[in-house]
Amino acid sequence: MKMVFRWYGENNDTVSLDQIKQIPGTEGIVWALHDLAAGEVWPLERIQEVKEQADQYGLHIEVVESVNVHEDIKLGLPSRDQYIENYKKTIENLAQIGVKVICYNFMPVFDWTRTDLYKPLEDGSTALFYEKSKVDQMDPYELVEKIAGSDVTMPGWEPERLKNLSALFDAYKHVTEEDLWDNLKYFLEQIIPVAEIHDIKMAIHPDDPPWPVFGLPRIMTCQENFRRLLTLVDSPSNGITLCSGSLGANPDNHIVNMINEFADRIPFAHIRNVRIYENGDFIETSHRTQDGSVDITGIVEAYHQNGFTGYARPDHGRHIWNEECRPGYGLYDRALGIMYLWGLWDAFERRKQNELAQTTTKSVSTI
């Protein structure tokens, strides 16, 4: 397991590279050129710039999250071909500077969705919260008006997506889940060969939450659908960012089974916990197994048993110790998350070594 940490860039993050460097066992940043709109080619010089910044701290830049997919590709519009060409060029440029994994998602219009960014937990910290009934009852067009009339910015949403929201909702009105599958296949058939040539693993992120929101279709939601994704283009470059928190918001998703089934197609793991309530609401807790509904211990054990050598990052943290930061992306709780993940990993590793030593001793003593 290679531990990495998401970093939003020099002028865009409250966490600094020297702080990241001091988190034990952390070897690289997970980054993106967040100011570029989906569909633009990422220029080589800009990529090089980030590499130089990271180099100064001995951190690598092998994982990008995300190169976002233009809506025209998801909608299957004729204009998609130009955007796909741009995407290929971005893959080439990233490979040239040493990137190995590109995370992306195929969620229509919105990335991750929450209803409260600072919901208090019992311990006095705050965390990202999703109130299911609130989203279920929300009329998307009302939402558009609300957003248009405010200076609201949403986590994980690029500002330009918030413009023209109404038109986007209209465009998706007749797009079914099967259409989305077709459009994903079309996209993958074109970009995966390019990724293969450049030894890049594409890693799709699950939909968060893993069910349709605002009447928009969502397909990266469950084990069966990830199985289908992997067959769309059967290549080691067509992989998954297995996000335990996104998938874990649906109690029917069994993450350990997914790791066991897809292990060799998971180049990138997001590991975090989430507490699910009976009414479908959920809140993001600390990474510790006992604090939420997701079996983080079992998940790390499954990665360990499968000999996982991919990249892993802690995911959203709570806001603790009065830290002011991007929602979910502070330093403290994610650093604690890393220590928990390493603690589990090291214990599993020690157990394995002890077992190996015992078998060796046994076989020696029977000779």
- Smaller CB separation from ligand DNO, 93 or 113: 113
Shortest Å distance, C-beta 63 to ligand DNO: 11
**Which residue type sits at 187?**
F
CB 251 within 8 A of CB 276: yes
Contacts of 20 (CB under 8 A, 6+ apart): 5, 7, 26, 29, 57, 59
Q: Catalytic site residue 277?
A: no
Q: Which residue do the tokens 């997919």 mark?
A: 69
Residue 42 or 362: the one with the smaller Cβ distance to ligand DNO is: 42
Provide the minimum distance between the beta carbon of 322 and ligand DNO in the complex, in angstroms, as a whole number: 22
Structure tokens at 174: 């007749």
Nearer to ligand DNO, 65 or 333 (CB): 65
CB of 320 to ligand DNO, least distance (A): 17
205 has catalytic annotation: yes
8 A C-beta contact, residue 254 and residue 293: no
Which residues does residue 26 pair with via DSSP β-bridges, in sequence order?
3
Known catalytic residue: 329?
yes
Residue 135 CA to residue 128 CA, distance in Å, equals 14
Q: Is 270 a catalytic residue?
A: yes
Q: How far is the CB of 274 from ligand DNO (least distance, A)?
A: 12
As given in the structure block, the two tokens for residue 214 are 């605002």
Q: How far apart are CA 165 and CA 169, in angstroms?
A: 6
Q: Which is nearer to ligand DNO, 88 or 272 (CB)?
A: 272
Shortest distance, position 71 Cβ to ligand DNO, whole Å: 14
Using the minimum distance from each CB to ligand DNO, give the nearer residue, 112 or 169.
112
Q: Which of 100, 363 has the CB closer to ligand DNO?
A: 100
Catalytic residue among 243, 281, 303, 304: 243
Is 304 an annotated catalytic residue?
no
Min separation Cβ 349 and ligand DNO, Å: 27
* Residue 341, C-beta contacts closer than 8 angstroms, at least 6 positions apart: 1, 3, 271, 287, 296, 300, 312, 314
In angstroms, rounded to a whole number, what is the distance separating the alpha carbons of residues 273 and 57?
Answer: 29
- 103, 316, 319, 333: which one is catalytic? 316
Catalytic residue of the set 270, 287, 304, 319? 270
Q: Report the candidate in 98, 102, 92 with the shortest Cα–Cα distance to residue 54.
A: 98
Contact 181, 228 (CB under 8 A): yes
Please tell me which residue in 311, 315, 319, 340 is annotated as part of the active site.
315
What whole-number distance in Å separates Cα of residue 285 and Cα of residue 297? 15
Pick the catalytic residue from 72, 172, 205, 208.
205
Choose between 247 and 259: whose C-beta lies nearer to ligand DNO: 247
Q: Is 179 considered catalytic here? A: no
Q: Which of helix, strand or coil describes residue 214?
A: coil
- Residues in contact with ligand DNO by the rule CB under 6 A: 65-66, 103-105, 111-112, 156, 205, 270, 316, 328
- Report the largest interatomic distance among the alpha carbons of the chain, rounded to a whole angstrom: 80
Query: Nearest approach, Cβ of 112 to ligand DNO (angstroms)?
Result: 5
Residue 123 CB: number of other CB atoms within 10 A? Answer: 12
**Which one is catalytic: 311, 329, 332, 340?**
329
Which tokens is 114 given?
């929450």
Please state, in angstroms and rounded to a whole number, the distance separating the CA atoms of residues 363 and 230. 41
**Could you list the active site residues?**
205, 243, 270, 315-316, 329
